[in-house]
């Protein structure tokens, strides 16, 4: 999570492309200068940036506290507080962005001024138009959507089930009828009521994006990667093409295993996989059904991480303490004591909260916190390592000026914790005392280890890709409100090869049942992070001098890796992301090569298992 988690952040969400000529032509200098505090000169532009940074830094502190309270104590009062500050943030963000566009057209700007102006122009998540009342309406809708999600409940056999409990049950329940109940009730109860409000939010946000010179909100999001929206889309599709064969091999194998377990009547061994049978509410990660598809012998990895945590009496805070020790083992400083007193590590009783895990730096200095409803299981053990990656990134760049208080791009921010979590290997579990050395799986268990990892990392890729492909279509109008759900289902079928367990009604809004849609969090970052984390991981293992299969590498305790990592993190958003990537990995291009190398032994094995099967699905 970024330094301010709001619908229209004053901080940089990403790096915008240079100011466009079309926008400048529509706003001549004589008109623009009238509303500007500083002259349209290099010195005036620099003065404007400095004034905005001072104001935004001060506002971010108090606003961040309002959002924190709203996320950890949902009620009518905190909703109004969050909407109030969100409205101010949106209005100021749009004002800053509009004026930044004027200053960005000035010739002779120094590097930092030009970069920060571009960040201001393209750094909004949702931009309200300057029409009176538009910012207030946008933020009221955004706040309400977020809170609706937090209050959401599924149902099972007539009983209400809180959202995070429903998610956990999807991973452990093996009754196909009950799984269908949980899936359908969550999507119906949470998603469907949001549809009209979401359509209105899109309408307002697009008006705002167009006022800033973007074709639509999706184009504005794609402009934040030191390249044009078109160049980003091409890179996005290229990366998917590099990993698609690996995903198709995994899908084919898992579909057969699910079919063997449930029977052909429930899950045929061809076509799509029924979404609720994959151990996750959105079929975005399949690790919970690994036991159902693990082949005898080759699939048994010899231990269960959840069992290890329970048998070693590790509680939720203990998971956080263990995760922190990974980072300190690299030579990084411990988290501040306030982290342990101010974080929401477990779900509090007696109030509604947003359980979706996120990491915060409230004052953009050292008020680091996480918000989780941690359960003692393997998933949350890995998630905690991930979330602390955000916190350590936030602290590493906290000496930068305001608009550089962010990752090199949003995919970097997600990838840091992810590549640390890749080092949660059997060797690491021995190092921290959770696993006995004689229980480390031998080399003949490698297929099981890789399959278990692929059930999360590889299975996620098409979902990570399609969420924003859907939103980009919504924003550019190619997906209309009456097509929202059909398009969502179609994209999940096309890219994931999964399909709903029940027919979806015409008024369904299944996208709303995924937090990042009502939470208005761009999702391409997660797809990029799944690519970047393997690049980072391979670079760290090479720095640590690892000698062995890549997937067995743990760089726990290697301070050389920590120094090199921190050098990249300290850059924040001050340089284009290829500079940051090169600083740690030695290359300037995102590539899935490291991921494909990591899973190469598994892919060869999968092809053997799938021989003679029809490994496609309709529309693939």
Over residues 161-202, the pLDDT tens digits come to 999 899 999 999 999 999 999 999 999 999 999 999 999 999
CA distance 574 to 144: 34
Distances (CA, A) of 426 to 152, 301, 303, 452, 556: 37, 9, 9, 13, 12
pLDDT of residue 164: 86
DSSP 335-376: PPHHHHHH-B-SPPSSSB---S-EEEETTSSS-EEEE----S
Mean pLDDT of the residues in the chain: 91
15: nearest Cα among 565, 395, 575: 575
* Percent of the chain surpassing pLDDT 70: 94
* Nearest Cα residue to 129 out of 103, 95, 100: 95
Given this model, what pLDDT does residue 3 score? 37
Pairwise CA distance, residues 540 & 560, whole Å: 9
Query: How long, in residues, is the chain?
Result: 620
- CA–CA distance, 359 with 5 (Å, rounded to integer): 9
Closest CA to 415 of 168, 239, 223, 600: 239
Residues assigned a catalytic role: 356-357, 386-387, 390, 414, 516, 526
**Of 584, 548, 561, residue with least CA distance to 329:** 561
- Give 150-195 as a DSSP string: HH-EEEETTEEEEHHHHHHHHHH---HHHHHHHHHHHIIIIIGGGH
Alpha carbon distance 185, 213 (integer Å)? 41
> pLDDT tens digits, residue range 316-330?
999 999 999 999 999
- pLDDT of 288 higher than 60: yes
Give me 68's structure tokens: 């924190």
Predicted confidence (pLDDT) per residue in 122-146, tens digit: 878 998 898 999 989 998 999 999 9
Does the pLDDT at position 28 exceed 80?
no
Task: Say how far residue 9 (Cα) sits from the centre of its chain.
Answer: 16
CA angle 79, 81, 85 (to 5 degrees): 120
pLDDT in tens, 297-306: 766 777 899 9
Q: How do residues 247-279 score in pLDDT, each as one tens digit?
A: 999 999 999 999 999 999 999 999 999 999 999
Say if residue 27's pLDDT is above 70: no
Find out whether 471 and 516 touch, Cβ atoms under 8 Å: no
Share in percent of the chain as helix, strand, coil (round to 5): 60, 5, 35
| Token duo for residue 322 | 């263990």
Max Cα-Cα span within the chain: 76
């Amino acid at each position: 999570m970024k330094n301010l988690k709001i619908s229209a952040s004053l901080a940089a969400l990403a790096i915008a492309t240079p100011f466009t000529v079309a926008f400048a032509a529509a706003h001549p200098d004589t008109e623009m200068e009238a509303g500007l505090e500083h002259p349209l000169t290099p010195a005036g532009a620099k003065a404007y940036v400095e004034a905005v940074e001072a104001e935004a830094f001060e506002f971010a502190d108090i606003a961040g506290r309002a959002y924190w309270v709203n996320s950890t104590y949902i009620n009518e009062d905190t909703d109004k507080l969050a909407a109030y500050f969100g409205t101010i943030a949106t209005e100021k963000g749009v004002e800053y962005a509009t004026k930044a566009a004027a200053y960005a057209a000035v010739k002779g700007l120094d590097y930092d001024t030009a970069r920060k102006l571009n960040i201001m122009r393209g750094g909004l998540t949702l931009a309200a138009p300057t029409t009176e009342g538009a910012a207030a309406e946008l933020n009221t809708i955004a706040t309400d959507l977020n809170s609706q999600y937090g209050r959401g409940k599924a149902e099972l056999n007539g009983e209400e089930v809180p959202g995070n409990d429903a998610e956990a049950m999807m991973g452990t329940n093996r009754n196909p009828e009950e799984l269908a109940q949980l899936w359908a009730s969550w999507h119906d109860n949470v998603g469907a009521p949001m549809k009209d409000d979401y359509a209105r939010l899109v309408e307002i946000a697009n008006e705002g994006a167009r006022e800033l010179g973007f074709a639509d909100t999706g184009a504005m999001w794609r402009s934040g990667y030191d390249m044009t929206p078109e160049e980003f889309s091409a890179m996005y599709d290229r990366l998917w093409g590099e990993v698609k064969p690996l995903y198709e091999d995994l899908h084919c194998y898992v579909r057969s295993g699910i079919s063997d377990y449930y029977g052909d009547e429930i899950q045929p061994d061809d076509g799509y996989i029924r979404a609720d049978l994959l151990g996750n509410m959105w079929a975005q990660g399949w690790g919970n059904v690994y036991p159902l598809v693990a082949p005898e012998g080759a699939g048994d990895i010899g231990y269960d991480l959840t069992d290890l945590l329970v048998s070693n009496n590790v509680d939720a805070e203990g998971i956080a303490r263990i995760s922190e020790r990974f980072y300190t083992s690299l030579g990084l400083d411990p988290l501040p004591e306030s982290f342990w007193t101010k974080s929401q590590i477990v779900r509090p009783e007696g109030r509604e909260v947003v359980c979706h895990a996120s990491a915060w730096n409230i004052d953009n200095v050292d008020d680091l916190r996480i918000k989780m409803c941690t359960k003692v299981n393997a998933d949350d053990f890995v998630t905690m390592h991930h979330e602390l990656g955000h916190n350590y990134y936030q602290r590493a760049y906290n000496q930068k000026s305001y608009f550089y208080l962010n990752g090199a791009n949003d995919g970097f921010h997600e990838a840091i914790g992810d590549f640390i979590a890749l080092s949660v290997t059997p060797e690491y579990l021995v190092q921290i005392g959770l696993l006995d050395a004689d229980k480390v799986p031998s080399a003949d268990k490698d297929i099981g280890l890789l399959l278990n990892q692929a059930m999360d990392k590889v299975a996620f890729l098409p979902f990570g890709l399609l969420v924003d492909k859907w939103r980009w279509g919504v924003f550019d109008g190619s997906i209309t409100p009456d097509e929202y759900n059909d398009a969502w289902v179609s994209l999940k079928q096309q890219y994931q090869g999964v399909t709903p367990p029940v027919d979806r009604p015409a008024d369904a809004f299944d996208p709303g049942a995924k937090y990042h849609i009502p939470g208005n969090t761009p999702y391409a970052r997660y797809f990029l992070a799944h690519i970047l984390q393997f690049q980072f991981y391979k670079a760290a293992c090479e720095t640590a001098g690892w000698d062995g299969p890549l997937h067995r590498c743990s760089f726990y305790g290697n301070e050389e890796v920590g120094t090199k990592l921190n050098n990249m993190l300290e850059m924040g958003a001050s340089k284009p992301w290829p500079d940051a990537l090169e600083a740690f990995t030695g290359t300037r291009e995102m590539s899935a090569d490291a991921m494909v190398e990591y899973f190469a032994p598994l892919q060869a094995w999968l092809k053997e298992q799938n021989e003679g099967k029809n490994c496609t699905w309709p529309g693939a």
